[in-house]
Structure 1
């Protein structure tokens, strides 16, 4: 019990978490100029690295990176699990401390998770973990460079999606967007499993006999889509949800990527039935913002 209390303190009751406030003057990476500069630098660096590798290496054989892919997967799995635990404990604490304010409007816990009241400010526990999630998107984007170095393949769609992920998580904080708590919980839960699986296969342990990663992403995108319908319903019933403009952009993105995944999922199974054990493509993506990349059916690209 003492360990649990210590964990809860450091993940939801620490003064730096409770007093967090998203501010352009105090939060690193919180300005629009930083956001666009960082995205431009990420895309430029990826393209430049790809061109340099094509010049230096004529062959297309994979370049060994040693333990780097496994280390990145393990790091992302641990960070995702930490954000998940911190967000769920912080959300519980926020609900405990502010439930008395909801009695007049008859707001339930689930309604609060889907629809922030109008006027919500980006401060407090859950927004601290939203900020950590935003910063983790930069670490997640490093996977593009690992793929470029190993296979000399550059996917502009992947670069675009990574950029959208960073952009969307910034908007969550900037406009106190509704639904972000559930989105972070769902995404980090799936990411901790997916990256844990990638670490498992990267160190040479056996992979699943089915496309594990793409199935996880289909489940995640489907849950996000259902929750988006809930936000839309509450927006009209409750008289408005905070940050609805950013939510609309998020909904369009998730809907488009879900259609892409479903289309690719069907084609993958059709190809698998015709080609037997040949390599196919599997999609790997991320939340509220996601990334698609080509993988082996056995998820060897870890």
Structure 2
């Protein structure tokens, strides 16, 4: 029974003909053109800005739009989708390593880890791994919905939110368009983190207690830091290998954008930490002043 379930999972997630024969092309893949990408990003930014303006003009300051269970359902759906993508690309990676290991001798790739970091030159966006990269790209559009939930529920829209979501969508497009190296590890780490983060959001949305520290922001900072470290590994392999890595130009742009997002996250995290420290110190000062005033009142009452 367990063997049949395992075989079925492997078939549907890594051996199905639609996965094995996948090819990224404008004629076969939805959303695979540059015009579609830039139009989608522009529509997302304009729609979010218009919604924020409408909410700010029509609702009072303390009013919020009730969303009911929609955010919880979205978080659960994203957590499940992330788990499926993680398992799918993990099984597909194992299958690709099994089927293409013989070809590595011609490309000076000696280990599977090198292949994960550095695709050989001439790699085409087709096959199992790029199918799941495409599914990950499509899932980025579902992530955009969270921006609208935030606007409706918290009346909040920041430049960082729009920039971060747009850049992540743009980078996932680059992975496919240029068969960029390192994308397998990036998708594995991202979907693993998203399954945890969205599971946590679903947990808190249905009424369970939240963590005593900024859990989501901390996870995102850890992810960006790990990705940045792996980017140095890609650069080292590109310089040391004779042929270099495929999609190195897109990788360079990706690295720069990752660094910018990491700096913005660290700035936000530091600002939040300092404001919390300031709030704690002010509350302690108020508490101590109230305590000293009450002590003086007690001594005055005793003296009288």
Aligned ranges 1:78-97 → 2 under 5 Å: 78-97=80-99
1:245 corresponds to which residue? 249
Measure the CA separation in 2 of the matches of 1:277 and 1:4: 55
Give the deviation of 1:262 after TM superposition. 2.7
Give the deviation of 1:64 after TM superposition. 1.6
1:224-276 Cα deviation digits (max 9, x unpaired): 01100000000011131111111111101111222232333334333333323
Measure the CA separation in 1 of the matches of 2:21 and 2:138: 18
1:49-88 Cα deviation digits (max 9, x unpaired): 1222222213333322100111111111111111111011
Q: Which 5+ residue runs of structure 1 have no aligned equivalent?
A: 279-302
1:151 corresponds to which residue? 154
2:138 corresponds to which residue? 135
TM-score by length of 2: 0.88
User: Of 63, 66, 71, which aligns to 1:61?
Assistant: 63
1:106-136 Cα deviation digits (max 9, x unpaired): 4210000000000000000000000000000
Give the deviation of 1:212 after TM superposition. 1.3
Measure the CA separation in 2 of the matches of 1:29 and 1:216: 29
The secondary structure found in structure 2 opposite 1:103 is helix
User: Of 247, 255, 262, which aligns to 2:259?
Assistant: 255
* Richer in helix (by share): 2
1:141-187 Cα deviation digits (max 9, x unpaired): 01011011112222232112211111111111011000000100010
Measure the CA separation in 2 of the matches of 1:106 and 1:117: 8
- 1:112 aligns to 2:115 (yes or no): yes
Give the deviation of 1:46 after TM superposition. 1.1
2:168 corresponds to which residue? 165
1:194 corresponds to which residue? 197
Measure the CA separation in 2 of the matches of 1:33 and 1:261: 29
The secondary structure found in structure 2 opposite 1:61 is coil
TM-score by length of 1: 0.88
2:28 corresponds to which residue? 26
Instruction: Answer whether contact 2:160 2:264 (CA < 8 A) is retained.
Output: no
Q: Which piece of structure 1 moves more, 234-243 or 157-166?
A: 157-166
Q: Which 5+ residue runs of structure 2 have no aligned equivalent?
A: 283-304
Measure the CA separation in 1 of the matches of 2:42 and 2:268: 29
Aligned ranges 1:2-21 → 2 under 5 Å: 2-21=4-23
2:290 corresponds to which residue? none
2:302 corresponds to which residue? none
RMSD: 1.6
Q: Which piece of structure 1 moves more, 126-135 or 59-68?
A: 59-68
Q: Which piece of structure 1 moves more, 167-176 or 146-155?
A: 146-155
Q: Which piece of structure 1 moves more, 31-40 or 111-120?
A: 31-40
Instruction: Answer whether contact 1:60 1:152 (CA < 8 A) is retained.
Output: no
1:207 corresponds to which residue? 210
1:268 corresponds to which residue? 272
